Structure 1
Amino acid sequence: MEEHSTIYYDIDGLVLRRGQAFLLSVTFNQDFNADRHYISVIFKCQTWLNSSEVKIPLNNSSNEWSAKRVFTGDGRSNCVCLQINSPSDALIGKYSIFLEICPIERGLLNKRALSIFQFEIDIYFLFNPWQKYDSCGLLSSEQIAEYVMNEHGQIYLGLSDIPRYIPWHFGQFERVVLLTALALLNKVQLSAQQRIDSSVILRILASKICSEYGSTDGIFPSSFDVLPLCQENEYTSSPTILKLYLASNSQSIHGNSGSNWQHAAVFCSLCRSLGIPCRIVTVYNAACQVQERRNTDMNLNRGQQTMVVVNSKITR
C-alpha cells in the first residue's frame, strides 16, 4: 500500500503501518442500507498467543481504534466504505478481520439476525517509523530510507587498516522474511504490555538467531553443536538463509553456525521487515572469536587506578 510505504512487500494480504488510517471497502451481493444496521469491525491477531480481539463499532472508537463510514460518491447502493484508524501502539502482527452486522428493527437490535462475515484477506500491522508517536518513529526521511527501506547494503570485514566489504541482500520485503519474524514472535508468551514494547521484541528476535546448546529452535545451530571442521558458508542473502529455516519446519539450518556478521545481517532483515529501524555497524579490534591475544600495558598509581595506557594492541 503506497500511502503506508508497504508497496514493496511481496506477501498475500494487506500490509499496513500502525497509527495510520486506511480505507476498507465492503461490497454486498444486494442493496444494503447501512443506516438500518449496527455494524462493527473486528480484528483478531494471529501472531500473539491468547491476544484479545478488537471490536470497533461503526462511527465509534474502542481502545483507541476507530471506524467511521466515508462516502465515496460512486452511487453504489451495495457498497460501504469504512475508514479505520489504529493506535500508534497497536500490536504488530498478522490479523484476521471480521464484519459484524446486526439489523435495527423499530429502534432495537435484532440479535437473532446477527451475522458475522470473515474477510478472505489477512492484514499485517507493522511498526511505523513515519509516525512520530510510534516507539520506532524517526525524524529524518534519510534515516528511514537507510535504516528501514534499503534492501541492499555492504558489510565491512577485514582489519581496521585494511577493511574489505561484501554485498548483502537484506530482502526485508520478501515474504519469507516477514513470515519468519512473525513466526519467531508466535513462539513466546508475553504480557499485553510487553507485546507492544519494541525493545522486548528486539530481544526475542535476537535470542532466536542462534540456538541454545542442545536445541534447534534458532535460525542458526549452536556453535557447540557444529563440527569444528565444517566449512564456513557463503551466504550473502537473508532470504536465502530464512527459506532454509522455514523449509526445515522452523528448525536450525544444516551446516555451520554462521559468522557474527551473518547473524547481524539476518537480525537486521527481521527488524526491518517489522518496520524497526536497524543497521549493521562493524567494530574493529574487538577481541571476539579471534585467534589473537590482546596485550594491554598500563601504569597504576598507589590507589591501583589507571594513569596512562602505554600500549594496547592485538598481536597474532
Structure 2
Amino acid sequence: MFKATPHVMTPTIREEPELLHILSVDACIEENGMNHKTEYYVIMQQKKGLVVRRGQPFYLNVKFNRDYDVENDILYIELKLEVEQYNYEQNYKVPKVLIPLLNSGELKTCWVASINSADKKSMRMKVNIPDGACVGKYHIQFDTLTKTTPPSNFTIDECLYIIFNPWCPDDKIHLNDEEQRQEYVMSQKGLIWTGHVGQVEATPWSFGQFNKDVLNIAFHLINVMAYVDVVDRHDPIHVSRALSALVNGNDYDEGISLRKSDDNDADEKQPQSFVGTSDIIEKFLKEKKPVKCGQCWIYAGVFATLCRALGIPCRIVTNFESAHDTDDNLRVERCFDSKGKEVYDDEFRGYSVWKFHAWNEVWMTRYDLNDERFHGWQVIDVTPQRASTRNGSYKSVYARGPIPVMAIKIGKFDVPFNAEYIFGNIDDDVCHFKKKNDDNVKMFYKVDRLRDGPNINTKAVGSLEREDITDTYKFPKDASN
C-alpha cells in the first residue's frame, strides 16, 4: 500500500513588465529631407522642425528604456493639428491623428507606422502619410502602454510640417514632368514680364519659398486669418483660394500687402524697391500690418512664394493689354468728346485697358468639376480689383480663382470661381462711343476686338526666355473681323 504524499500548489507570481518609456526621437532630418525634397527649408537646416510631403513615408529613430516587446507593448503616435477654436466644432477636442504602430505591413492609403527595423532598446519606424492628409503644422506626442498598464507620454518640441506633394501620383496637385516640378515648385528665382506689348521687360523676382518664416506664415494665414475649416485643409482648391484672399489686405483681414495708392503716404513703399518676397514678409511680421506696396506683380510674386512653400506648383503669367471690366458684361466701354478727351460719368465709369496685368496659375486636378478638360493649370488673380460677386462663403471677398484655363478658353462661365472676370481681361471687346457737343447723347462708332489680351506670357521652363501661352487661353481670331 502506497502512502499518498500531499502536493502543495505554489501560485506563480507574474511580474508586470517595466513600463516602456521613450528616451529620445531622431527625426532623421537629412534622410527625410532628401527623400521628400525638403532639405532646402531653413526649418530643416536649423533642425527646428520636420517638413515632409504627404503621400509618402518618413522615418524616425526611437530609443527606449528597454527592448520593445511586440507581444505586450502598444505604441501610438499622436499628431495634433495646430488650429484655432473657430476652425472646428467647439464640442470637439483639438483635431488629432492617432497613428498605431504595427509590427509589419504596408498600408499606403491611411495613417500607419510600422517597424522598419529594431535593435536593443531602439527602433527605426516607418510612418506613412496618406495622399489626402490635411496640410498643416502638427505637434507630435508618443503614447506607450502595455495591455495592463496606463500610458506614458513623450512629447517632441519640434513640429511636423506636412505639405502637398507634386511627385505623388495620387496627390491632387501631382505634376508629371520633372523639369516643370523643378521650375514651378523648387526654383527660388524667376522672372516676371512687365512693360507693354512694344517693349516687354523682364523683372527679376526672388521667391525664397524655403526661407525662414515663409512656411510658418503660409500656415498662419490658412489657420488664423483665413478660417479654413479643418476638413478642407486637404484640398488645394480651398487652400489656394484662401491664400489668394490673404495675400492682399483689402478685406480688412490683415493680409500681407495693400495696394499702393498715395505717393505721399510715409508708410508706403515703391513697388520697384522690392525684388523678392522675403523683404515683404519680414516687414509684415515686424510691423504686424499689411505692407503698402501692392501692385499686380508684387501680389503675384508673394502668392507664388506661398504656394511653392506649400508644395503647390505655381507660375506667374502676364497678360498684355489687359482689360478691366467692372460689371462683367464682357465689354470695355469708353466714351470720348469731340476733342478726343475721354468722358467719365455714371454711364462710363472709367473702364480701362492696362498695359499689362500679372496673375498666377496653379496646377491641380479639378475633381469637383467632373470634366477632365478642366484639370491642369488654374488661374488665380490676387490683385484686389473687385470683390467676388458669388460662390458662397467667398462672396464679397477679394479673391478670383482657381479657374480652369480651359474654361476661360471655351467661355464656360458657370465654372467656379468667377471665370467671366478672367475672360474679360483677355477677350473683352473694347467699344468706343462719341459724345455730341450739343447734348448728352453718346453714339457708338467702333469696336476693337483684337486689342485686349493679344500676348499672354510666362517664364519658360529651365531658361530665362519668355514663353507665349496665349493659345492656352484664346482661340485664334480672324484679323479681318
Q: Which residue of 2 aligns with 1:91?
A: 134
Q: Map of 1:234-273 to 2, 5 A cutoff?
A: 234-249=273-288, 251-253=289-291, 256-273=292-309
Q: Which residue of 1 aligns with 2:240?
A: 202
Structure 1 residue 210: deviation in Å? 1.4
Q: Which residue of 1 aligns with 2:319?
A: 283
Q: Which residue of 2 aligns with 1:176?
A: 213
SS of aligned partner of 1:71: strand
Are 1:151 and 2:188 matched, yes or no?
yes
Please, which runs of 5 or more residues in structure 2 have no aligned partner? 1-32, 89-93, 325-351, 356-428, 434-445, 453-481
Are 1:19 and 2:55 matched, yes or no?
yes
| Paired AA for residue 36 in structure 2 | H
Deviations 1:43-79 (A, max 9, x none): 111146445211122118798111111215xx4x121
Q: Which residue of 2 aligns with 1:70?
A: 116
User: In the aligned structure 1, how far is the partner of 2:68 from the partner of 2:111?
Assistant: 24
SS of aligned partner of 2:153: strand
User: In the aligned structure 1, how far is the partner of 2:187 from the partner of 2:229?
Assistant: 32
Structure 1 residue 248: deviation in Å? 2.1
| Paired AA for residue 56 in structure 1 | I
Q: Which residue of 2 aligns with 1:34?
A: 69
Structure 1 residue 227: deviation in Å? 2.8
Are 1:101 and 2:137 matched, yes or no?
no
Give TM-score, length-normalised by structure 2.
0.56
Deviations 1:218-254 (A, max 9, x none): 111255xx435456231011011011111223x212x
Structure 1 residue 125: deviation in Å? 0.5
Are 1:122 and 2:159 matched, yes or no?
yes
Q: Which residue of 1 aligns with 2:42?
A: 10
SS of aligned partner of 1:148: helix
Are 1:45 and 2:77 matched, yes or no?
no
User: In the aligned structure 1, how far is the partner of 2:132 from the partner of 2:314?
Assistant: 19
The 3 A distance-change label for structure 1 pair 55 and 310 is closer
The 3 A distance-change label for structure 1 pair 227 and 62 is same
CA-based RMSD of the aligned residues comes to: 2.6
The 3 A distance-change label for structure 1 pair 311 and 144 is closer
Q: Which residue of 2 aligns with 1:303?
A: none
Please, which runs of 5 or more residues in structure 1 have no aligned partner? 104-108, 299-307
- Count the aligned residue pairs: 288
Q: Which residue of 1 aligns with 2:101?
A: 58
Structure 1 residue 311: deviation in Å? 6.1
User: In the aligned structure 2, how far is the partner of 1:154 from the partner of 1:189?
Assistant: 32
Work out whether residues 17 and 128 of structure 1, in 8 Å CA contact, stay in contact via their aligned partners in 2.
yes
Identity of aligned residues (%): 30
Q: Which residue of 2 aligns with 1:304?
A: none
Work out whether residues 42 and 98 of structure 1, in 8 Å CA contact, stay in contact via their aligned partners in 2.
yes
Work out whether residues 140 and 159 of structure 2, in 8 Å CA contact, stay in contact via their aligned partners in 1.
yes
User: In the aligned structure 1, how far is the partner of 2:96 from the partner of 2:253?
Assistant: 32
User: In the aligned structure 1, how far is the partner of 2:276 from the partner of 2:448?
Assistant: 42
Give TM-score, length-normalised by structure 1.
0.83
| Paired AA for residue 265 in structure 1 | G
User: In the aligned structure 2, how far is the partner of 1:166 from the partner of 1:21?
Assistant: 39
Structure 1 residue 216: deviation in Å? 5.8
Structure 1 residue 313: deviation in Å? 4.1
User: In the aligned structure 1, how far is the partner of 2:304 from the partner of 2:194?
Assistant: 17
| Paired AA for residue 31 in structure 1 | R
SS of aligned partner of 2:232: helix
SS of aligned partner of 2:248: coil
Work out whether residues 18 and 87 of structure 1, in 8 Å CA contact, stay in contact via their aligned partners in 2.
yes
Q: Which residue of 1 aligns with 2:223?
A: 186
Work out whether residues 222 and 228 of structure 2, in 8 Å CA contact, stay in contact via their aligned partners in 1.
no
Alignment partner of 2:169 out of 125, 132, 147 = 132
| Paired AA for residue 34 in structure 1 | D
Work out whether residues 173 and 273 of structure 1, in 8 Å CA contact, stay in contact via their aligned partners in 2.
yes
User: In the aligned structure 1, how far is the partner of 2:164 from the partner of 2:96?
Assistant: 19
| Paired AA for residue 298 in structure 2 | Q
Structure 1 residue 295: deviation in Å? 4.9
| Paired AA for residue 276 in structure 1 | I
Structure 1 residue 207: deviation in Å? 0.3
The 3 A distance-change label for structure 1 pair 262 and 157 is same
Alignment partner of 2:178 out of 132, 141, 156 = 141
**More displaced 10-residue stretch of structure 1: 60-69 or 169-178:** 60-69
Work out whether residues 25 and 82 of structure 1, in 8 Å CA contact, stay in contact via their aligned partners in 2.
yes
The 3 A distance-change label for structure 1 pair 21 and 270 is same
**More displaced 10-residue stretch of structure 1: 135-144 or 31-40:** 31-40
